[in-house]
Amino acid sequence: MKFFIDTANTDEIKDAVELGIMDGVTTNPSLVAKENRPIEEILLEICELVDGPVSAEVTATDHVHMVEEGLKLADLHDNICVKLPITRDGLKACVELTAEDIPTNMTLCFSPMQALLVAKAGATFVSPFVGRLDDIAQDGMKLIGDIIQMYNNYGFTTEVLVASIRNPIHVYQAAMLGADVATIPLSVIDMLLKHPLTDIGLEKFLADWDKTGQTI
């Protein structure tokens, strides 16, 4: 499973990259807006921090300008993956950018049929938002299972990038289902690591070792 970090904050990305297990970054207009910095500056810094796909979302809504923005974003750095909303225009832009060998991440996915269209459009990634479905009492992880089953049925190569992750259980369930990627907020990455018995066990090991007076 690939781990992407879901943020446009370069300090958070540096923190996660130090773990040595990060494979990419996803951003979106809201995450970029939070940083209050020029988008090109942020994206170029992120691309130098992580050697993997960096999703950058277009803000145009018509396919001509989506393609125009997508080409501009892709020109910034080889790591850029152009993020497009799953709308009619977004799908058309996806087909056009894919024909130009530009990686695409189709976002705001909330149904299996949206994901099926995305795979037929040849997208690199599809981003189903599990947390936002859970937020309205729908089963976000069932969507992930449905998409993976559909893609396996037909051998689609679009990667399932689980997004809108709220907790470690989302990552666990995504991994059990065989999702290709989880894009995870830094706070949840830290939660994946933590277990009280690890902390208690380490404390006991060190206390017993200290009694020996030895050093390694």
Q: Cite the active site residues.
A: 83
Q: Which of 52, 122, 131, 168 binds ligand G3P (CB under 6 A)?
A: 131
The reply on whether position 114 binds ligand G3P by CB under 6 A is no
28 versus 124: smaller Cβ distance to ligand G3P? 28
Q: Name the DSSP class of 181.
A: E
Please state the closest distance from residue 80 (CB atom) to ligand G3P, in A.
15
* Separation of alpha carbons 130 and 146, rounded Å: 12
With a CB cutoff of 8 Å and minimum separation 6, the contacts of 60 are 66, 68, 69
Q: Which of 79, 104, 124, 183 binds ligand G3P (CB under 6 A)?
A: 183
* Separation of alpha carbons 81 and 75, rounded Å: 10
* Separation of alpha carbons 59 and 86, rounded Å: 13
The span of 36-44, 66-74, 124-132, 148-156 binding ligand G3P (CB under 6 A) equals 124-132
Q: Which of 8, 16, 24, 26 binds ligand G3P (CB under 6 A)?
A: 26
Q: Which of 84, 144, 163, 181 binds ligand G3P (CB under 6 A)?
A: 163
140 versus 145: smaller Cβ distance to ligand G3P? 140
Asked whether the beta carbons of 66 and 93 are under 8 A apart, the reply is yes
Size of the site for ligand G3P (CB under 6 A): 10
Q: Which of 45, 132, 178, 186 binds ligand G3P (CB under 6 A)?
A: 132
Residue 86 backbone phi and psi in degrees, to 5: -85, 80
* Separation of alpha carbons 134 and 105, rounded Å: 22
Please state the closest distance from residue 84 (CB atom) to ligand G3P, in A.
13
The span of 112-120, 127-135, 145-153, 186-194 binding ligand G3P (CB under 6 A) equals 127-135
Instruction: Give CA separation, 122 vs 32, 77, 113, 188, in Å.
Output: 26, 21, 14, 30
Q: Which of 9, 10, 28, 114 binds ligand G3P (CB under 6 A)?
A: 28
* Separation of alpha carbons 157 and 37, rounded Å: 35
Q: With the C-alpha atoms ordered 89, 155, 160, 170, is the resulting torsion angle positive or negative?
A: positive
Given the rule CB under 6 A, which residues bind ligand G3P? 6, 26, 28, 31, 129, 131-132, 163-164, 183
